[in-house]
């Protein structure tokens, strides 16, 4: 059984993190209004929706698979028109992927008796008339203080033998996403050897903290020759997004606003499909220029 299924919370009080949000939902009880659960991946939004649906006749859809008007006119509308002895509930994951026309049609269906739980990463992509019909609950990334005890408990139960530095690496690679943490731990179950941070970086195909930290210091020293050598090595072995993400994390640790600003700009370019070695080198030289 996969760790994400084995350790999935079954009741609200077992959900990791976001205690204020969980408390609000508990106080609402079964008579909750339409909900819009928003926030980064791996913060418990879908888990909470699954816990709530147990008391309803439910339909679950993912708008990243079916994002057009047809899914609203057919599947959602037909479900809303059903007669059942249980209250109807629709869970619509990644609802921020719905087209504008689909959202406008959905708005009208939300005026009926069927309850809706909408889940999204970016609530700003959801039209205001839908937002106004929902209680919007913002989920934050799970803090390290909440992350650590649960992760250590799972490692102990599943015989995952991590060195202290490797354990920190798991937390860093997870980036506040507990589902991601469980996926990283999955292939490590019952390995007989002690697992090091070097092993983890290789297994996950991302550059090591030491490599990125070296790049950071070379940038601060304006050492162009060594920067070129190291960047060529990194780009030959790793994805540009992982290099930029690693540099961003070191910028956060060092409170380096210049690094954070430039890396954020280039992360946005990557999301929009601009991913090339030239872009990465351009980013590095822009950081040096603004040092």
The CATH number covering residue 123 comes to 3.40.50.300
Residue 82 domain flag: yes
In a domain? residue 3 = no
In this structure, are 22 and 57 located in the same domain? yes
Average pLDDT over the chain, rounded to an integer: 89
Joined together, the tokens standing for residue 82 give 């059903």
The pLDDT of residue 74: 85
Q: What does the pLDDT read at residue 280?
A: 85
Tell whether the model's pLDDT for residue 212 goes beyond 70: yes
User: Residues 49, 88: one domain?
Assistant: yes
- Regarding whether 39 and 109 lie in a shared domain, the answer is yes
Task: Mark which of 83, 104, 138 sits at the end of a domain.
Answer: 138
CATH of the domain at 151: 1.10.8.60
Amino acid 182: pLDDT: 93
Does residue 270 share a domain with residue 223? yes
> CA angle, 32 as apex, 142 and 119 as ends, to 5°?
45
Burial 18-33 (b: 16+ CB within 10 A, else e): beebbeebeeeeeebe
Q: What local confidence, expressed as pLDDT, does residue 19 receive?
A: 93
Residue 254 covered by a domain:
yes
- Are residues 78 and 163 located together in one domain of the fold? no
User: Does 68 reside within a domain?
Assistant: yes
Q: Note whether 107 and 197 are same-domain residues.
A: no
> Residue 17, class by beta-carbon neighbours within 10 Å (0-12 exposed, 13-18 middle, 19+ buried)?
buried
Domain boundary among 84, 111, 138: 138
- Asked if residue 274 has pLDDT above 80, the reply is no
- Would 9 be classed as within a structural domain? no
Check residue 271 and give its pLDDT: 67
Q: Is the pLDDT of residue 276 over 80?
A: no
The verdict on 167 and 58 lying in the same domain is no
Are 235 and 253 in the same domain? yes
Q: Is residue 220 part of a domain?
A: yes
Print the domain residue range for 50: 18-138
CA distance 253 to 244: 14
Query: Which of 52-56, 57-61, 142-146 comes out lowest in average pLDDT?
Result: 142-146
Residue 4 lies in a domain: no
pLDDT tens digit sequence for 147-159: 888 999 999 999 9
From residue 256, how far is each of 223, 253, 287 by CA, in Å? 18, 8, 11
What is the per-residue pLDDT for 275? 63
Do both 83 and 108 map to the same domain? yes
- My answer on whether 28 and 111 are in the same domain is yes
Mark which of 186, 204, 222 sits at the end of a domain. Answer: 204
Average pLDDT over residues 200-208: 91
Is pLDDT of 128 > 90? yes
222 confidence band (pLDDT: 50, 70, 90): confident
Residues 44, 129 within the same domain: yes
What is the total count of domains within the chain? 3
Residue 273, both tokens: 């499909």
Res 240: pLDDT: 87
Residues 30 and 123 in one domain: yes
Q: Give me the mean pLDDT over the 251-276 stretch.
A: 82
Report if residue 11 sits inside a domain.
no
């Amino acid at each position: 059984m996969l760790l994400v299924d084995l350790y999935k919370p079954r009741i609200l009080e077992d959900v990791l993190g976001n205690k204020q949000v969980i408390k609000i939902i508990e106080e609402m009880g079964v008579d909750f209004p339409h909900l819009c659960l928003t926030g980064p991946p791996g913060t418990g939004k879908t888990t909470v929706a699954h816990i709530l649906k147990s008391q309803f006749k439910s339909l679950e859809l993912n708008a990243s698979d079916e994002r057009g008007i047809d899914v609203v006119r057919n599947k959602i509308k037909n479900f809303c028109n059903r007669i059942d002895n249980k209250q109807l509930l629709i869970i619509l994951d990644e609802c921020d992927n719905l087209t504008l026309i689909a959202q406008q049609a959905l708005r009208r269906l939300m005026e009926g008796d069927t309850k809706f739980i909408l889940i999204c990463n970016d609530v700003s992509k959801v039209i205001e008339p839908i937002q106004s019909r929902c209680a919007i609950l913002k989920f934050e990334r799970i803090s390290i203080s909440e992350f650590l005890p649960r992760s250590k408990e799972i490692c102990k139960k599943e015989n995952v033998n991590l060195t202290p530095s490797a354990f920190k690496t798991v937390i860093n690679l997870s980036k506040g996403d507990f589902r991601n943490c469980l996926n990283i731990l999955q292939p490590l179950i019952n390995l007989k050897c002690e697992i090091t941070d070097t092993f983890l970086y290789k297994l996950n195909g991302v550059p090591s903290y030491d490599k990125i930290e070296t790049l950071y210091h070379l940038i601060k020293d304006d050492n162009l020759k060594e920067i070129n050598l190291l960047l060529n090595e990194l780009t030959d072995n790793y994805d540009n997004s992982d290099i930029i993400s690693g540099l961003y994390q070191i910028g956060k640790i060092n409170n380096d606003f210049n690094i954070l600003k430039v890396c954020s700009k280039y992360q946005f370019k990557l999301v929009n499909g601009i991913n090339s070695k030239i872009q990465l080198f351009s980013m590095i030289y822009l950081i040096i220029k603004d040092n």
